[in-house]
Amino acid sequence: MPAGHGTGRSGPPRPGAEALPVGVEEEFFLFDPRTGRTIPRAAGVLDAVRDPDRVQREFAACQVETASSPHTDLGELQRELVRLRSELSGAARRAGCRLTACGSAPFENSATGATVTDIPRYLRIARAYGAIARGEKCCGCHVHVEVPDREEAVQVCNHLRPWFPTLLALTANSPFTAGRDSGYASWRTIAWGRWPTVGPPPLLDSAADYRATVDALVRSGVILDEAMVYWLARPSHHLPTVEVRVADVCATAEETVAYAAIVRALVTTVLHDIRSGVPAPRPVEALLEGAHWRAARDGLEGQGVDPFTGAPVPAWRLVDELMARIGPALAAAGDLPMVTERLFLLRCLGSGAARQRAVYGQRSNLQDVVAWMGRQTAPVTVCDLPLLTSQGDFSVI
């Protein structure tokens, strides 16, 4: 917890007081602890949740999602995320499965079927999208930052575009698919790319242009509704926010919070630019996509592409540039020490993807990876312990 996030009423003004509210949606897999495969048990897990307010079903019955409340104090966001993960994790154990934060299911591929959640909209999507809906499931993390003015929200998306690859590299957490290493740090990004509206948002002139573009997509019959605009960032269709949808779900709640802080600071920074009349950057489109592909390929551990110069540079250098750009906003929000410390840990321990690979490297056993990811997802509580040992999937607690 960074200093300055205390709740005392006296003392200096809280640095976080004027920060933009931020909320987080996290998607998780439910795995069968015996096989490491996904298991369609969302209904049972949600029945076992004691406080169901902020958890919901997802498209596939092997997934669940949490949605936090909006917070200006990210310490509070972290407490909520940890609580949600713990509750869901406990409910999953009671339902005989494991809640797991990873972007792809290691044993499954594009031909693997999935049980679709029995909700009319999801069933319609399953019918309309065939194999891309049924196959490869993906878990992402969506960060909402409050930007109530729709014109500003559209401009924020324009300004965010060059930073998507760096945000992706920071959160890459899905190297395994089809029972093997895909060669990508974020295979989710590649698999998810098969949907018709995935990718960087187009540069849009105005809220009216956004409306017209979304209407054209809906009119074409290609997407069923506005919620199916899956651009990497978009003005939310149901909240007064900009929604950033780049990230794989992060392995730990701490990483999610650091990522949310970075996204908020970036939105704050570009809002300042917009209000100062700075036009949206216009990187070469093909390079922007190339940079995004490279980020999915290498994550934090390899190369990235500077979207402006096209130069290959170490991914961490892009992170450093991002930090230089948003440092003042992070400091003003009181998040700088927390983010700096967690980036340092990422640098030492490796990205989510690198850690998965390290576990795999020990015994070349993907089941180890699945079990280990489950352990990172939520802290184990005392009441879970008997279940743990009886299931026998943890050698060490």
Cβ atoms within 10 Å, residue 293:
17
Sign of the dihedral defined by the CA atoms of residues 257, 71, 122, 211, in that order: negative
DSSP line for 168-199: HHHH--B-EETTEE-S-SBHHHHHHTTSTT-B
Assess 310 for contact with other proteins (CB under 8 A): yes
Q: How far apart are CA 305 and CA 93, in angstroms?
A: 42
What are the phi and psi torsion angles at 177 (to 5°)?
A: -155, 155
Nearer to other proteins, 132 or 323 (CB): 132
CB of 367 to other proteins, least distance (A): 20
Q: Provide the β-strand partners of residue 24.
A: 143
Cα angle for residues 236, 80, 90 (degrees, 5° grid): 110
Cα–Cα distance measured from residue 85 to residue 75, given in angstroms and rounded to the nearest whole number: 15
Near other proteins by CB under 8 A: residue from 5, 41, 54, 134:
134
Give yes or no for residue 297 binding other proteins (CB under 8 A).
yes
Site string for other proteins, 206-235 (x = CB under 8 A): -------x--xx-xxxxx------------
Interacting residue with other proteins among 56, 109, 340, 391 (CB under 8 A): 109
The correct pick among 96, 199, 240, 337 for binding other proteins (CB under 8 A) is 199
Nearest approach in angstroms of CB 98 to other proteins is: 25
* Residue choice 31, 107, 129, 163 for contact with other proteins (CB under 8 A): 129
Query: Do residues 105 and 38 touch, judged by C-beta distance below 8 A?
Result: yes
Contact mark string toward other proteins, 174..193, x via CB under 8 A: ---xx--xxxx--x--xx-x
Enumerate binding residues for other proteins (CB under 8 A): 109-111, 113, 128-132, 134-135, 177-178, 181-184, 187, 190-191, 193-197, 199, 202, 213, 216-217, 219-223, 284-287, 289-294, 297, 303, 305-306, 310-312
